[in-house]
Amino acid sequence: MQHHPSPRDVINRQLEVYNAHDIEGYCALFAGDAVISDLITGQTICNGLDEIRKVYTARFADNPKLHCVVHQHMDGADYAIDKETVSGLPSGNLHIMAIYEVREGLIRSLRFIRWTDH
């Protein structure tokens, strides 16, 4: 049986490469068919690794001060849940509850609940 990193290990690494704006490291953590969506609206933000690469390449390039801080986390089964604040965006701080589904060492889905300070 192959040993895979825990969901928390994968998400901790995801935070490191996100804050380093390392698009290759970031994309390496997602499954090819991973989906990123808004949990409140049900809107799909990215469907598949090609879209993730495109969206986050632009996000990192357009926001050089982009930085995420995790305030709380919970882990269970194949999930890691973080309460985060992302700064460095033109619209101000973005608060996020991020629900990561991680299986076989890769992020399969990421669902957000997001809100701003105002």
- Which helix (H) or strand (E) segment is 65 a member of? none
Asked, for residue 97, whether it belongs to a domain, the answer is yes
pLDDT value at position 3? Answer: 83
Which amino acid does the sequence have at 112? F
Please write the tens of the pLDDT for every residue from 23-82.
999 999 999 999 999 999 999 999 999 999 999 999 999 999 999 999 999 999 999 999
Q: Is residue 2 part of a domain?
A: no
Enter the pTM of the model.
0.94
What domain count does the chain have? 1
Q: Is residue 18 part of a domain?
A: yes
Note whether residue 13 is domain-resident.
yes
Residue 1 inside a domain? The answer is no
Residue 1 pLDDT: 61
Asked, for residue 102, whether it belongs to a domain, the answer is: yes
Read off the CATH number of the domain in which 90 is found.
Answer: 3.10.450.50
Query: What is d(CA 62, CA 49) in angstroms, rounded to the nearest whole number?
Result: 20
Structure tokens at 71: 């305030």
Mean per-residue pLDDT, 15-20: 98
Identify the domain containing residue 55 by its residue range: 7-116
